[in-house]
Amino acid sequence: MAQLIFDQAGYLVKSGTDTIVLLAKEYALLEFLYYNRNHTFTREQLLDRVWMLEYPSERTVDDHIYRLRKKLHHWDHITINTVRGYGYTLTLNERRQVDNPSVHDEEMKNAIGEMFEKYHRFGQSKSMLALETQQDVLGFEMDPFYQVYLRFIQGDIPWFLGAEEIPLQERLYWLLLLYRGMSSDPNDVLRKCQLALDSGILPPEQHREMEILNILELYGEAGLPLEAISKFPITRKRIEEDKLSSFAMPVALMQMYVCLLAEQMIEVERISCRLERFLKDTPYLREIGRYHILKGLWLLAQGKRSQGVDLLDEGLEVLRMSINAPLLLISVSQILLYVQNHVPDSELEHKYQGVYAALDREYGLSKYRHDVERTLEQALNVR
């Protein structure tokens, strides 16, 4: 099935190697119809769902549909249909194409797979996204995991809500992590993640990652850092038993954060020294960004405000550069939480609230929050 890739920063839409530029309202309309494809909407519904904060007329909907059809006319795999007397619906058609022989070559599959894995480990999301757009040209099919993961790192919330071709159970872990960056209530996020673990609904690898890594930060944020610390030996044992060497840095970063929340500064310093040795040998972008942020918070706790803020901003910039929207959202939320609870500073709080507000507008956090909550409750059978 042909896929569209949406880039909100420039109102760009990509299909394969082809890109079109839209106006803001055209972009919003196409994105909504695409993620709700095969559903028919009246003009009134489109006005309410796409431009809820504005007051365009029904005529405006027709005008934008007309302009979209003109701009999409050379993409014969996409059709915006008029349902007479009712409204509009978008459908996708399979492109007729001849497979490149390399698509079925095992050596090529392995080589491409190894390339994605290395870029993933290095935190080079841009490189993975560039590879994704060249599938037809280079003659390969992307692994299903990376089809989902690349949507995740781009913060593509509507895709995770509307990708009905992928079972909700397989989207749940990613939705929980996205929700963590959308919610201001760590207790609620902790409750939902604990429900996911208790129910056994997550796939095994994601269950393990939630149990030994993600949820421990949430214990800390919910005011239970000592409970998180008490589980560190379980995490260490699991990493040794399952030979999870790639977890060494993410786990150390988690432990540094939880110890910061517990105000165990001697342990924070010890972990910080270990992380600096790690990063000297393996300077991965994602981990560099996270470490700068945690060290920045540590400096704030020591009263070194200027140095701390510089590191916080450097860390956020690295995460932006590496293209990891969920980690960026979570990091800004953590900065705000730490400033509010440990180093009260109204100027800093205002600054990072502004950063979060900009991300809210960029990724539609307020727009999609209720839908994400409802989807999670459906998956977890929350009463």
Can you tell me the distance from the alpha carbon of 215 to that of 209, in angstroms, rounded to the nearest whole number?
Answer: 9
Residues of the chain with CATH 1.10.10.10: 5-92
Count of alpha carbons within 13 angstroms of residue 140, beta-carbon side: 22
pLDDT at 6: 86
> What class, spelled out in words, does domain 5-92 have in CATH?
mainly alpha
Cα dist from 129 to 20, 66, 287, whole Å: 17, 31, 19
Instruction: List per-block mean pLDDT (blocks of 10 residues) for the chain, which spans 383 residues.
Output: 76 86 92 84 83 60 91 89 85 65 80 92 88 78 89 90 88 98 97 97 96 98 98 96 95 98 98 96 94 98 98 96 94 98 96 95 91 94 61
Dump the DSSP string for 117-176.
Answer: HHHHHHT-HHHHHHHHHTHHHHT----HHHHHHHHHHTT-HHHHHH-TTS-HHHHHHHHH
Per-residue pLDDT of 348-367, as tens digits, reads 999 999 999 999 988 889 98
pLDDT at 53: 55
